[in-house]
A and B are shown apart, each in its own frame.
Chain A
């Protein structure tokens, strides 16, 4: 009985091998050949800029709070010359801890932090996986081209007074009694 089962399994196994002999191999000749990764693939994290070229990050700490492995640390600072516009004084991601879950991107209210389809982050020393703001900040808008938080936020910025943002009325004249 056992002999019969062994023979049958052998034939099935050989048939699978025979069948594969005529199919196209899945192996890719990386790094000469590169796989296609969709834009929403979650790889290396970047900090983007808004369409005006300013840093999008407003240091709200939501990414660091959302991070399940606590690998994002930052400190908020403000620019007095730009109506106290908030920016991160430092922004550090410890990629040796990052699990590329994308929670930070989901939490980000300004589309500043984005995961991009780049996974080539191997290093010989773990300390090289600690990325500071200079390493993270790119000069473009990333995946979201038109969003500018400060256009819709109602706060004053250098190029926009109160009431000049999207969907805003001009500032109230308190002394007016008109209905």
Chain B
């Protein structure tokens, strides 16, 4: 720690930081633009000038940029010095010379960093009478709106997009005062993290296009913590609602998980909540003819009908869901009984998940958070296509490759925050990142070495690496020499690291890659490394569901087909995505009664005899367990329209309706509030015992008050509903959480899950976050970053996996069809958002050029593929990264329900070669 003196008061600060960070950390307002806590300082904007004095006798001092000056012990500065103030006011005035007069129509207005800084420096009246510079805007695709007039040339956008997120298609053009930040020509921003530009840009050059079309100011949004439901990483988001529709998703800082950034799927995939295909009323089909559509029925009659069917049933099958909250799954498990509860994922996925849980529970190595991944100094990826399956983790790896070159930076005594100098020192050096898989993406350009092979070969590489690291780990003997060399190189690089990370996943459906990854991490652990493991899972709550246990979908199908049960309750699950259509059709036809609880219409809901309208994530309280094993709470942001209720409430109501009169009921029937659900969940499985610690319970109060979801300035309270009623109905009462649907309540320091929006006096933009941290960039004050449910013991002896698969052999007529995830298209919920739909690529089949030639196909031609009883129209892509003897099939909505990996005879299944497109 160092002591610095600011305006004659001393503060103790971290000497590894710069003065700007030191001041902001103590709540001293220094204006800035180009510095960003995650991206360091470049000293471009000259806004953070303060006066530095040599010693206490120095009266004149000199202006320095606080972001470029280290906070060394005894530094004496002044923020309030008149000359420094005048300098900062001039900088703002120069920036404002060309800034347009369009705040009323700018979506950043009200949460604009430039507005805040202008007020902070005291610039009020425009003195310049010269004409303003203008720019033409670009069409940047469905996510981002562009208004270049507003630009203040801070370079944050290109620094984020190019340097931090690895994007290529955004750049800075032009010279002197005519700089242009955009693409070379109009077109969609390609990078998967382009949405962060909205938050990174200090003004309104890049704004959220989906938000634009149902715009509301920040102060009118009713907000609460949400957890992104679109992949297994569990990034924290803030969801904002106004008059019954979800308006936007913004990033929510969690020091252990997503930090400052979010991927585009998470940010723009929210509009499924507002979809026209939402189920808003219970539907009942009283006849047995499934062709007849269900009729809307009121809630009590529906429950009566359903309860009657349940009482008369010969056995119930409950099918859970990896996208429903843990509480909803526990409710179903309690209603139908643990023996009748099935996980609602196919056998293969269930097997992979239970292997992963065993590895994380019983092995000696911890799972890595995204933050751990950013800090890793050597990374081995075995299998998963991170950019498409878990984008935020890919962004973390782009930071991890800077860890090893940082040692050189430290030798040169360059502080880590001095971004320009760091980049200069690092040049093109990159830390070790080894990626093995069956698909090439732009992330591979950052890899030290890439290896494209079938999953079995990827696993063999992993086993070989483990064998080279530790003598105890089983090794692979019959490897080709170049693979053996690669394995040796990887092993050497991992052995040189301090915090190596091994990543595998369920995406390729390969058990062996998971086992190989575990072996590598365990071998490293035995060599005294702080190794970490990370597994990419299929869905938001896959880990939570696996912790609950239960049979697979196949077991559920068997139970109905054998006649042991005749009633099915499906919880938030589209079975047609999880098994081939014929099997699901047969299963649903065989069942006497099908009850479905879900929020959006899909093929399974069309088969329902009783359909209950379920609340989506932002309309409900719940807990997700992410791929790390971290349980995180999401809160209800707004009260649902119509008869929509949380799934666990429907199940609780159903349980009460089913229990006979006079019976008090047990289990889920006794649940009244969300706290009941949480405490029941905590007793369900030993791993879930700490569920209650995830977030404060509903009875939590400060100064006897609840915590408002609305801002103090929330408007329209007396007129928003006055066209319907003059009586100003009271706000809904929230019994399930300490939050309230009002603007009244306690405002002050809060446990982090209860913060509605980041906002502080003088800081209206997202940069207000700095005031919520003790140390800028560090954890939030009173942070509750979720509870890690799986904590392995470091002294556990590794139970080495020994079943090394044989090398992959291409077959003469068969191809191994492998899934290719798509960041836009593979997730069920975000696919219902119009902006995401625009970005979903056409389905394609990827083949190695030699296989394409063998099938006499042409690159970019269109084919019809008849498989598993369905005809798919696919484009053919020749990729040299696709392993010979395999084919990659993109997982987009048109192809859902295909079970992969699977062997396929392409000679037979490719029916017609359609119209050939020019390349």
Contacts and interface: CB of A to CB of B under 8 A. Distances in A.
Interface string B706-731: 00000001111111101100100000
Contacts of A177: 175
Nearest to B217: A61
Given A130-B719, A154-B149, A75 B243 contact: yes
B147 A155 contact: yes
Interface string B299-314: 0000000000000000
A172 B100 contact: no
Given A67-B715, A72-B719, A78 B243 contact: no
A49 B77 CA distance: 53
Contacts of B176: 179
A145 interface: no
A66 to B, nearest CB: 8
Contact of B716 (A72, A78, A174, A179): A72
A156 B313 CA distance: 65
Interface in B687-744: 713-720, 722-723, 726
A176 B177 CA distance: 12
Interface of B is mostly: loop
B148 to A, nearest CB: 9
Contacts of B713: 65
Given A70-B718, A86-B105, A162 B132 contact: no
A7 B102 CA distance: 72
Contacts of A71: 718-719
Interface string B568-607: 0000000000000000000000000000000000000000
Interface of A is mostly: loop
Which interface residue of A65, A167, A172, A179 has the most chain B CB atoms within 10 A?
Answer: A172
Interface residues of B, number: 45
B747 interface: no
Contact of A60 (B109, B717, B722, B726): B109
A169 B213 contact: no
A6 to B, nearest CB: 52
Nearest to A173: B178
Nearest to B714: A70
Contact of A76 (B174, B215, B714): B215
B719 A97 contact: yes
A70 B129 CA distance: 38
Interface in A82-99: 84, 86, 92-94, 96-97
B724 to A, nearest CB: 10
Contacts of A75: 214, 216, 243
A109 B110 CA distance: 14
Contact of A93 (B147, B212, B719): B719
A48 B587 CA distance: 63
B136 interface: yes
B87 interface: no
Given A162-B136, A167-B132, A70 B215 contact: no
Which interface residue of B213, B217, B719, B722 has the most chain A CB atoms within 10 A?
Answer: B719
Interface string A50-84: 00000000111110110101111111111000001
Interface in A146-179: 149, 152-156, 162-163, 165, 167-177, 179
Contacts of A94: 718-719, 722
Contacts of A58: 104-105
A110 B104 contact: yes
Which interface residue of B102, B175, B219 has the most chain A CB atoms within 10 A?
Answer: B102
Contacts of A77: 213
B220 interface: yes
Interface of A: 58-62, 64-65, 67, 69-78, 84, 86, 92-94, 96-97, 109-110, 126-127, 130, 132, 149, 152-156, 162-163, 165, 167-177, 179
26 contacts: A58-B104, A60-B217, A61-B110, A61-B220, A64-B220, A70-B715, A70-B717, A72-B715, A76-B214, A78-B213, A86-B105, A96-B722, A97-B719, A130-B719, A130-B726, A132-B723, A152-B101, A153-B102, A153-B105, A155-B105, A155-B147, A168-B134, A172-B174, A174-B174, A175-B174, A177-B175
